[in-house]
Structure 1
Amino acid sequence: MRRRGWSLLLILALVAGWFGAAPASAQPPTAVTLVGDLQTELGCAQDWDPACPQTALRPTGEPGRWAATFTLPAGRYAYKVAIDHGWEISWGLNGGPENVPLTIAGEVRLTVRYDDTVHRIGLTPLDLPGDHDPGDAGLVGKPARAPGTGQQFYFALTDRFADGDPTNNTGGRKPDKLSSGYDPTDANFYHGGDLAGLESKLDYIKGLGTTAIWITPPFGNLPVQTVGELSLGSYHGYWTLDLTTIDAHLGTEQGMRRLIKSAHRRGIKIYFDIEINTTADVIRYTGGTSDYVPIADHPYTDRHGKVIDIAAIAGDADFPPLDPKTSFPYVPEVPAALRNAKKPHWLNDPRLYHNRGDSTFTGESVTYGDFFGLDDLMTEHPRVVRGYIDVYKKWVDFGVDGFRIDTVKHVNFEFWQEWSAAIMKHAREIGNDDFFMFGEVFDGDPKNLAPYVRDTELGGVLDFAFAGNAVNFAKGTTARGLAAFFATDDLYTTPNASASNLSTFVSNHDIGRIGHLLGDADRLPDRDRLAHELMLLSRGQPVLYYGDEQGFTGGGDLWTDVAARQDMFATQVDAYAQQKLITGEPVGKRDRYDTNGALYPDLAALGRLRADHPSLATGAQRERFADDGPGVYAFSRVDREQRIEHLVALNNASVPRMVTFDTLTPGARFSLLYGDSEPVTATEDGSVTITVPALATVVLKADRSVASPAAAQSIKVGAPTPGAALAGLAPVTAVVDPGRWQETSFGWRVAGAKDWQPLGTSDLTAPSVRHDVADLALGTLIEYRAVTVDAAGHRSAASSYGSVGFAVDLSVPDPGDGIVTVPGTHNAAMGCASDWQVDCAAARLELGDDGTWSKTFTGIPAGTYEYKIALNNSWEENYGEGGVRDGPNMTYTTTGGPVTIFYDPETHLSRVETG
């Protein structure tokens, strides 16, 4: 689009925009003209001419509606409508005075519409493709399954698993605990587990169906650190000093090679846990304090004293040099004995750390603060990026199969993009195409987990959202909670990623064990088993935490994380020995490798089931049924090659449940693979009726492939609706027959472009992906395409379009006023996708005749919960204790009966009544 000089008409248009449109005339318009810097392209003599007949709209016959069709070339434009050939009245963006932006990539035929009753302007591209055509062939793809995925993990805390070589228990140091870190009687010190012990128990681990072992960080650690007033051992491996070698407490590089080789012979991969965010705590701050100092109070400066924004220059090759004495809010100091303790040597440079004090785990301190006092790397610095790439390339060369990465959200996002791409590129270059990485993003909201899967090459993340929902389901909350949770899986779908990449779990070394998280629920062994059944039979890569198979629960007087880090070998820690197994039996002081103990036989059976039926590991997951309350959640798992339907039904109610639902395989006989149920035969319309025992799971398999329909199905794009506003991770959905097996591929393009850009292929129950439009210009007109392929190979397609930032469909958006929600730790029990979900419809209160808001919720298990009041589906305005805006969380305790939450909009006070 050519640049133009200023004109009187343009000045008048801008003045109209600055001062606002005049009030609407009492009389309907006699003329409506499309005006803007697109008019000369449409045949006018000049732009911004309200009298140009070539861009006049015409009455449509509908009251207040005007329209005309134009062919517009590629460009970035601004436009509005002028009334009655002048500037006295004009309308623009969202019925206001501002000009409307528009970006198109090529020639487009557009119908421009104007509704004088709401003063909105609409656009309709006229050449959107309709049903399937040959041009769709390049868009159709397979659902993403990353190389190396489909694993069943076993997470072993090496020091606590098995002691195969007692000679290394002190790590080659003096035997006193404050030197060696070794004291098997203290839960906070080394206990003697090592690589040799792991190798000796590989068959035990393999018996559970394990295909990959994730071990805690194996690198050289500072054996003992002081945290507050406590001296603690680094048995967990996260206080690294030497990233170039294996910690002497665990063994040697030769021992690691033996472990990897022995595991590979058994078909087991070895994954290293790695820590990039921090190293061991050797830096001290002059003055003796370590409170976090915000950037606003003391910004970073280069060595010349110039203020710099390290976030804005993250990764830049010309990152300015820093001075340890002046560039940071604290002056870093390292004791003489530790100044060269770290390896590689670049880690000893104090200028490569944030030096800003202890994290408060809020705001900017999440990435800039020291994680519980550990030295926090300045991962924005290119020297740190290069150094970490070099370090971990060497361990890829060593033969490890993948990495689990700690504290990912505490590192700037740009680091992960550059580092993960370099590591994966190197793995492919040396022929390790199955190398895979997943990160720990400690967050229960799928919206916050998804970017690390979508926009980096980490591959996957630990699915904390799954963990929360699985625990709640096992406690007996509504099955609709699982339905809402799995409905968010589209957040992860791209051409290269999907929710199948995620690592699911119900216990770990931080949050504790499922047996402890279940609290005071009844029938604990059954609920523990149910949570693991959900984990092992649903989408994702399950991670079994060591000891869960033996019924370890944790608890007692230890911290939650330490309480869940028990010894598998005969413990000498009294607190561990006094803990109860899930069966109620004391742990005692004996080895716990019994293949008949607690849950081992059940978990081993599930592992064999996954191995024998790959659909249960990597197949599509299609929801079939969800009770509205405690009861059955059922889904199908279907492999895209064999297309044999496997039905999984889990019942979290305390009584058996008979349910009827549709399948994908009409007329099929479903035989029992797991659990206690009778074989069933689907009716001709595909429905089955099954009974699922209380707190149990059944798995059934069809005797034939899913139905192959005789004709192509109908399809339409459900979102965006034509002309809808697009923002953030905009949902793009298709409406198809839920009774058919199908895969649906989605694509997008800027209007006027010829080629579709793939968004991914969905195999979800309701086909859906997300389009990240955050970097697209306001007003960009986007076209979408959905192509579905059924079991017979029939293809159907449909299109829609949207506009970035605002709607072009003549609608007046709902401002959202008058929505009150109660985000909190009870949300999953209410049927939300996750706890603290501020925009969950299931957590909305209702307005009463007296002007106050309230709602009674059922199905919330006994316990104590935290919550807040939020307005209009946003955290922007929220109220806590005492009606204080942004105040502390409110709490209530329920025995499991009805919970009624009240809110007074005048005082912003809330109260809870429990039944």
Structure 2
Amino acid sequence: MKVLKPLFCLLLLLSISSVTQAQSIKNLKVEPPFWFANMPTEKLQLMLYAEDIGNYRASIDAEGITLVNQVVGDSPNYLFVNLLIGKDVKAGDFDITLTNGKKQHTFAYTLNTRSADANRNQGFSAEDVIYLLMPDRFANGNPDNDTIEGMLEPARRSYPSGRHGGDIQGVKEHLDYIKSLGMTAVWLTPVFENDQTPEYKAYHGYAATDMYKVDRRFGSNAEFLDFVETCHEMGLKVIMDMIHNHIGDQHWWMKDLPFNNWVHDKSVYGNTNYRGTIASDPYAAQFDKDKLQKGWFVTEMPDLDQRNPQLADYLIQNTLWWIEYSGVDGIRMDTYLYPYQDYMARWAKEVIEAYPDFNIVGESWVETVAHEAYWQQNLPGQSDGYESHLPSVTDFQIHFAVRDAFNQDFGWESGLMKIYYALSQDRLYSDPMKNVIFLDNHDIHRIYSTLGEKPEHLKMAYAFLMTTRGIPQVYYGTELAFKQGPADWGDGGKRADMPGGWAGDERSVFTENDRTNAENDMLNYVSKITNWRKNSKAIHEGKLLHFVPENNVYVYFRYTDNERVMVVMNMNEEATTISKAKHIEMLRGYATGTNVVTDATVDLTKDFTVPAKTTMVLELH
């Protein structure tokens, strides 16, 4: 790696003959394609890619813009140009001149004006309910982009694990449906270009082949920007899914890596061991750490080495570019535990410093509360000294607890006690209210099937999700009690299409008359309790107090100084009586409660009854 200081570059240019040939550099690629004036950071790294570009040297003569250094890659076809963009530099173009002996090429680089829209980059919190969907499986708004000439994978809707043709336009056309459910934020699985081979099936978006482009089968960058703006106009936030652990093996880098250490050597490390707990294990063997951090996620996903300083800068800068360009409100970072810890901490820190109102949730798929809590920012007492800057973690412990609660007989350590035990360890988190909680997602079997395909169980679990601490995330189709598909569908079984999202579908679940009675019943339940949640400060910011489950009944309260909500989960096959005396410390001073689902009034001056297989949510008065 050659680092060229500005003084050396100046002397080199002075030594060149005054007779210089203006010459175009064929197929010059510049990333980021443009930047913004008055960004929170003054640093800007340009990746220049073209044949033999490493033999050129850049020079800039623009007020307020400083060329710090230039770095030539191990490949002669890369040149990294590091700049400082002063705070007073105005939006517009400035010239960059590239010189190689008598050859010279000048191109204009653009600094755009930052948006002044106050609705952008709002972050997300416990006030929100996040609706997670996969664009390829939700709705097809533009059939013309299903199969793109020159791209490797065509649309194959009859193939459960193939690309089905859903797109950004399709999601946009059904935002009214999403909002009617009571959702306040939309999380799309990645929309980056995934131009992978048909054998790999990259409809999910987690194998990026270009990190600055929306996949053309989903739409365009401009369409994504329009989608975000439309969501904001409707009062919906947008969460963008990103991946810094790996790329797709068809990424254009892989044909000509910038540096030899840009990706880890699969011949040495193989595939990862998928054991995220290793990253926080004080006794972990280096062999296991290497497998986690350096092994490839799958054969088609080269594992990035964020220790390379140019790559680290590239990834962080790409994040800032998308936040500024699109106006998204938050990021969900995939496989947060797999890259190098120091890099992930730096990434989160720089993003939040640049956008203080923003929020990030890191996917932290681990087996215990302690392993989960390790990754949240401001956690005291880390014996290894690790300082995380990640605001939110994906709370897999809540998912595990709900799964087990409904699939185990009630006992001292089973049934509803699983939920109690998970929450009783919240002292380990720096702020459990920032945890993103969920029943299922695109990587887990459908929760309805996991709970035995019993509507009453799904309703009970959903009411818990809407009323416990944290930021709820709902996977698309849960509101319709989607079932898990057949085992031979693979991941496609978790990711069914929304009927009616495609022209020619026999029916549309987006329309009440086309839904079954069971679907309407579940959707109405979800809509009722989710919309109620939007206005409950006790749920958004209140404390939690719970009672140890007894006789298959779990009672807890969410409360502020001015509001109080009582929740009773009755897992029994028959109705149960709730004792006023037992819960008097939280019921004192309240005479009635309004059932937020049925609107019925419950008399709290005496014992009351909760029906079988019901989570009753009462707003106290």
**What TM-score does the superposition give when structure 1 sets the normalisation length?**
0.48
For residues 127 and 389 of structure 2, the distance between their equivalents in structure 1, rounded to whole angstroms, comes to 17
Contact 2:126 2:434 (8 Å CA) reproduced: yes
Report whether the alignment pairs 1:164 with 2:150.
no
Per the alignment, do residues 559 and 458 of structure 1 end up closer, same or farther by CA in structure 2, a change over 3 Å counting?
Answer: farther
Match of 1:392 among 319, 324, 327: 319
Contact 2:271 2:296 (8 Å CA) reproduced: yes
Contact 1:499 1:540 (8 Å CA) reproduced: yes
- In structure 2, the residue matched to 1:264 is 232
Shift of 1:673: 2.9
Match of 1:637 among 531, 552, 558: 558
For residue 350 of structure 2, give the secondary structure of its aligned residue in structure 1: helix
For residue 137 of structure 2, give the secondary structure of its aligned residue in structure 1: helix
For residue 617 of structure 1, give the secondary structure of its aligned residue in structure 2: helix
Q: After TM superposition, list the pairs within 5 Å mapping 1:698-709 onto structure 2.
A: 698-703=616-621
Contact 1:475 1:527 (8 Å CA) reproduced: no
Match of 1:152 among 122, 129, 134: 129
Match of 1:647 among 566, 569, 572: 566
- In structure 1, the residue matched to 2:71 is none
How big is each residue's C-alpha offset from its partner over 1:401-447, in whole Å with a ceiling of 9 and x where there is no partner? 1101111111222112111000111113xxxx2x1110111113111
Per the alignment, do residues 187 and 485 of structure 1 end up closer, same or farther by CA in structure 2, a change over 3 Å counting?
Answer: same
Shift of 1:472: 2.0
Shift of 1:589: 5.2
Report whether the alignment pairs 1:372 with 2:301.
no
Letter in 1 for 2:474: L
Report whether the alignment pairs 1:542 with 2:455.
no
Q: After TM superposition, list the pairs within 5 Å mapping 1:614-625 onto structure 2.
A: 614-623=537-546, 625=547
Match of 1:224 among 183, 190, 197: 197
Letter in 2 for 1:632: V
- In structure 1, the residue matched to 2:262 is 352
Letter in 1 for 2:508: D
- In structure 2, the residue matched to 1:467 is 399
Letter in 1 for 2:391: G
For residues 185 and 481 of structure 2, the distance between their equivalents in structure 1, rounded to whole angstroms, comes to 21
Structure 1 alignment gaps of length 5 or more: 1-145, 226-230, 283-337, 573-587, 683-687, 704-915
Letter in 2 for 1:610: R
Match of 1:667 among 585, 589, 592: 589
**What TM-score does the superposition give when structure 2 sets the normalisation length?**
0.69
How big is each residue's C-alpha offset from its partner over 1:525-550, in whole Å with a ceiling of 9 and x where there is no partner? 11111111111111111111001111
Match of 2:449 among 507, 516, 534: 516
Contact 1:645 1:665 (8 Å CA) reproduced: no
Shift of 1:237: 0.2
Shift of 1:649: 1.0
Letter in 2 for 1:164: G
For residues 465 and 209 of structure 1, the distance between their equivalents in structure 2, rounded to whole angstroms, comes to 25
Shift of 1:222: 2.2
For residues 420 and 481 of structure 2, the distance between their equivalents in structure 1, rounded to whole angstroms, comes to 28
- In structure 1, the residue matched to 2:60 is none
- In structure 2, the residue matched to 1:278 is 246
For residues 211 and 486 of structure 2, the distance between their equivalents in structure 1, rounded to whole angstroms, comes to 35
For residues 210 and 147 of structure 1, the distance between their equivalents in structure 2, rounded to whole angstroms, comes to 12
Letter in 2 for 1:244: Y
Contact 2:170 2:501 (8 Å CA) reproduced: no
- In structure 1, the residue matched to 2:185 is 212
Q: After TM superposition, list the pairs within 5 Å mapping 1:303-314 onto structure 2.
A: none
Report whether the alignment pairs 1:551 with 2:524.
no
User: What's the C-alpha RMSD, in Å, of the aligned pairs?
Assistant: 2.4
For residues 464 and 559 of structure 1, the distance between their equivalents in structure 2, rounded to whole angstroms, comes to 24
State the identity as a percent: 25
Contact 2:460 2:615 (8 Å CA) reproduced: yes
Report whether the alignment pairs 1:563 with 2:493.
yes
Q: After TM superposition, list the pairs within 5 Å mapping 1:71-470 onto structure 2.
A: 148-173=125-150, 179-224=152-197, 231-282=199-250, 340=253, 348-355=258-265, 356-362=269-275, 363-364=288-289, 365-373=291-299, 374-398=301-325, 399-428=327-356, 433=357, 435-453=358-376, 454=379, 455-470=387-402
If you compute each CA radius of gyration, which structure gives the higher value, 1 or 2? 1
Instruction: Give aligned pairs, total.
Output: 456
Shift of 1:171: 3.5
Contact 2:147 2:155 (8 Å CA) reproduced: yes
Specify which structure has the higher proportion of strand.
Answer: 1
Per the alignment, do residues 463 and 208 of structure 1 end up closer, same or farther by CA in structure 2, a change over 3 Å counting?
Answer: same
How big is each residue's C-alpha offset from its partner over 1:627-676, in whole Å with a ceiling of 9 and x where there is no partner? 335x221111113xx53211111112222111223243413113223256
Specify which structure has the higher proportion of helix.
Answer: 2
- In structure 2, the residue matched to 1:894 is none
For residue 234 of structure 1, give the secondary structure of its aligned residue in structure 2: coil
For residue 279 of structure 1, give the secondary structure of its aligned residue in structure 2: coil
For residues 483 and 511 of structure 2, the distance between their equivalents in structure 1, rounded to whole angstroms, comes to 16
How big is each residue's C-alpha offset from its partner over 1:187-224, in whole Å with a ceiling of 9 and x where there is no partner? 12111111111110001000111111000101111232
Letter in 1 for 2:371: N
For residues 395 and 680 of structure 1, the distance between their equivalents in structure 2, rounded to whole angstroms, comes to 53
- In structure 2, the residue matched to 1:751 is none
Shift of 1:678: 5.1
Contact 2:153 2:195 (8 Å CA) reproduced: no
Structure 2 alignment gaps of length 5 or more: 1-122, 276-287, 380-386
Shift of 1:148: 4.3
Q: After TM superposition, list the pairs within 5 Å mapping 1:765-780 onto structure 2.
A: none
For residue 257 of structure 1, give the secondary structure of its aligned residue in structure 2: helix
For residue 272 of structure 1, give the secondary structure of its aligned residue in structure 2: strand
For residue 272 of structure 2, give the secondary structure of its aligned residue in structure 1: coil
Per the alignment, do residues 680 and 475 of structure 1 end up closer, same or farther by CA in structure 2, a change over 3 Å counting?
Answer: farther
For residue 331 of structure 2, give the secondary structure of its aligned residue in structure 1: strand
Contact 1:637 1:646 (8 Å CA) reproduced: yes
Shift of 1:386: 1.4
For residues 182 and 147 of structure 1, the distance between their equivalents in structure 2, rounded to whole angstroms, comes to 34
Letter in 1 for 2:323: V
Contact 1:181 1:232 (8 Å CA) reproduced: no
